[in-house]
Structure 1
Amino acid sequence: MSGTVNGSDVSAPVLAAYSYCEAVTGQQAGNFSYGIRLLPTPKRRAMSALYAFSRRIDDIGDGSLDPAAKQRRLEESRALLGRIREGKVAEDDTDPVAVALTHAARRFPIPLGGLDELIDGVQMDVRGETYETWEDLAGYCRCVAGAIGRLSLGVFGTVPGARDAARAAEYADTLGLALQLTNILRDVREDALGGRTYLPSDDLAKFGCAAGFGAARPPAGADFTGLVHFEVRRARALFAEGMRLLPMLDRRSGACVAAMSGIYRRLLDRIAADPEAVLRGRVSLPAHEKVYVAVRGLSGLDARDVARRTAGGRA
């Protein structure tokens, strides 16, 4: 029993491994899953393998193990990644994520070093690192999100003759930063209750929030709304720059990126409209709105809009 990926035979064990990764993605990926559903089968499978491995790394960081045990698990994952990079994972290996990712890395020019960066970023979380400046936080964001953008670009590829294609990885990285900063804003309450604040201490001090958000509340007299609006402007600027990637992608890859980015930009709009909502609970979009954004991406509306604004020098 076998399938076909662009004319290449795919064995039953590899198909089963991909199916496992797609199930993980469908159950856990949330906003991410709306985008990758729009991809053709080979790319969808590869993106699911990337997601499943990344999810495993994130789960180690977010789990209940003590820090030393988390570090050991992360280094074990790094060693597994080395085996995947070297093509040393057999098709009958008992780890379906490793099997699927090994196959995907043979099929597409995926820069697997990005997963090493993800592990580096999660290790920063395990150590409880904080960030003084935006430049410091951006370094973390590049590890945990910018790297995912660059990994994804390895699957998407760029269309032949795409203008400015040499900067595609840079734009993918920037888009990852925009997504991660949106996540950080959305999760202010959850992180505060867990004893973490990711926003740069310089920014917190500027708006009277240097004391953090104990009990998920800003300090007395703080300009929390000003802080959120400041970070929203930064995220929107990152989106504007990162979305220059869209015209470089084929239609369905562009639809995938447009869907994921569109969902997060709408999430950012909700946060901007009611900054203190992030202190009351997790801000999210209803499923029907996510579907609308995905359909809009598939229709090419977002890509055409970005191309038009870029040509006018306003992207």
Structure 2
Amino acid sequence: MREFEYVRAGEVDQAVATVTADPAASYLAGGTTQIDLMKDGVLEPDRLIDITRLPLGGIHRDGDVLRVGALTTMEELAADPTVAERLPFLREALLLGASVQLRNMATIGGNLLQRTRCRYFRDPTVPACNKRRRGSGCAALRGAARMHAILGASEHCVALHASDMAVPLVALDAVVHLRGTGGERSVPLTGFYRVPGDTPDVENVLAHGELITSVDVPLLAPDARSTYLKIRDRVSYEFALTSAAVALRLDGGLIGEARVALGGVGTIPWRAPEAERVLRGAPASLEVFTAAAEAAVWDPFTVEGTAFKVELAKRTLVRALRTAAGGAR
């Protein structure tokens, strides 16, 4: 790890101004991904602005919305009683997303901004990585790519967005609040991330120096049923091969409301509105769930190591839908 200057921020506006004015400066919160990347030489900031003492934590309910401070830890959010009661699939994603040690360090804002687990991005000795250096190529297209994306991917990048927590959050239409030198703005999480296109190094809409301050999370209706299903190579502490976040409201045998998002398969947390349209107003049946899965995994971009994910993602979603519906046949 190269040397860097460490600065502890005393207030939010000071932190924002400091990072905005210095292209080589970065924020430091839990650091559970950032420090690893610095040790590997992938990230090399000249200055780290420690924001952990800023008043950006806490969970507050306002009607049917939870406002979650960006410095709230994953463990704190998972332990919140409102999350357990009204957002069970978010709690499941948090608990499945990391070990308890990491959950006690990792912050909500940091989790949303975590970098890809692509082995080629994380190895600076690999020259071909468009996410590290635009125009250099994508080594994963011809290398081992089992843990890579099939949705939102292209010949420029197949790197996977690894967050579990972000999957139910995009299904819930969560809103991210940002602070920059020009003031505050709010961005729907579904519009926060950018698919790679021909600029894989641009991962979201944040301007340099903008800081996530909080996230608004709408609560599910009291009668909604939800689940987060994560398929992985081993039972504990492993990233998803595929995952699905599903929330349904049933009216008799029909689906009145449906929220669907996929993880483990997208270059961004993948909302599936096509699947939701198939489900709404339809009976909670295996036939409908299968049709929804077909609609969700549309136009996949696969390489030799990721083709298996197409069928696995569909089966994952069908199983999650059946679970949420109470075992529909």
Superposition TM-score, scaled by structure 1 size: 0.31
> Going by fraction, where is helix more abundant, 1 or 2?
1
Superposition TM-score, scaled by structure 2 size: 0.30
